[in-house]
Structure 1
């Protein structure tokens, strides 16, 4: 990923102008009649990133998908850096948001985790886009406001609420990335994890010493038998979410007392 392939790497003023445009009003006002819109450019870019990853996303590839001249995309978006911000804000804005009313805080946090996990299944590239400077658009604002509801009214300070949400989303992204990488490895190699391990097993039996690495042998065998693989993203998510909730419970109880 290039140095500018992160959120907020472009012109902040132009990016914010585009992020907060009125829907359908993204095209430039001067020049000949436009053949497309900012919304169409974003839809095409998201389709490319979803199907092929960020490496395949260029201003030219977006133009080609829309049937435009190679440089025409620049009349709608200044460059790839701004395009990435707009794409991220768009998929955040389009996320389904559950009604959290009447839920316990654990249920709310679990729903927020599930919503983000589903987002990363639909748009895997989001898991690899650094967002330490998130695009401050309407999609980001709506997502942030919605997710903070899971921690509101629990006695946490505003700073603690922000940190708790960051902690939760960091866990979801980490587990999701491993799931995405596992799926990509299977697709690239044409064989499942189970098939890969079966092929590697004869060599491992010759070189791996259970006497020298007793814990690795015992625990690895148990995990492999349980998951039919070295790793289960679903198990890691379920186990990790439970531990995340337990950790947040300790924080909430300390603040309420």
Structure 2
């Protein structure tokens, strides 16, 4: 979890929280306090103000209860953010009627792109050690079915998802960085580009970098900015799918399979 990666959590207690195998009975709070209410409040705060704004005290204040009441349900911020991550994973749409692995993977990429745009804090909260909650597993299972039965090994199926979602995450992080720069500087990307583009053309062309001047100017005119996360997402998505198509075609018996009901 972002914030303090050195925090060590008790796996048994963390998983019990994620899977809701045991939960204290609410006493006194109206409406009754619960893990779900605490997590939803944490998500609302993170969406509005970022992950650093999420503290046990802040969540308690927003819910109208004391900090210790929050600790009764959730051991700490690390565990809280873990459940927040697993909870928002449930938001991705999972239609069962899409035909073709490429169509299915594209839908998965777009759902994850939209998820990061709704919850930018998720980019900081995710780590290489996944949150093994029910919504993560449901999401992973659904996404794997996009390439199940088309000739890939199980490890290759996992690798395809890692490649695809890694691309989505990279483009989404650039989009968040761009938004933060606009907020911090008070300049939109278009305004920044209008102020700097003439100097790029002047220095790059005059300094013996004609290719950089030509391509940089063309890209800037196309994006209205120095960089477009949306274009990077779209262009990269189709190139990733093209690469996966080469792998599938190279596998003996690589083929489509009927969409799982």
TM above 0.5: yes
Match of 1:158 in 2: 154
Match of 2:259 in 1: none
2:39 to 34, 38, 42: 42
Match of 2:71 in 1: 74
Distance change (3 Å), C-alpha of 1:203 and 1:210: closer
| RMSD (Å) for aligned C-alpha atoms | 2.2
Q: Structure 1 CA distance, aligned partners of 2:4 and 2:140?
A: 26
Contact 2:197/2:217, CA 8 A, preserved across alignment: no
Match of 2:257 in 1: none
Q: Structure 2 CA distance, aligned partners of 1:39 and 1:156?
A: 38
Q: Structure 2 CA distance, aligned partners of 1:102 and 1:135?
A: 28
2:102 is the alignment partner of 1:106: yes
2:90 to 90, 93, 96: 93
SS in structure 2 at match of 1:191: coil
Count of equivalent residues: 250
SS in structure 2 at match of 1:94: coil
Match of 2:225 in 1: 229
2:189 to 168, 186, 193: 193
Contact 2:167/2:236, CA 8 A, preserved across alignment: yes
Match of 1:84 in 2: 81
Q: Structure 2 CA distance, aligned partners of 1:59 and 1:15?
A: 16
Q: Structure 1 CA distance, aligned partners of 2:130 and 2:194?
A: 43
Distance change (3 Å), C-alpha of 1:223 and 1:204: closer
Q: Which runs of 5+ in 1 are unaligned?
A: none
User: Within 5 Å, which residues of 2 pair with 1:1-257?
Assistant: 1-4=2-5, 9-21=8-20, 26=23, 28-29=24-25, 32-34=27-29, 35-99=32-96, 101-201=97-197, 210-256=206-252
Q: Which runs of 5+ in 2 are unaligned?
A: 254-261
Cα deviation digits, residues 59-93 of structure 1 (max 9, x gap):
11111211222333211100011111100111112
SS in structure 1 at match of 2:121: helix
- TM-score norm. by structure 2 comes to 0.88
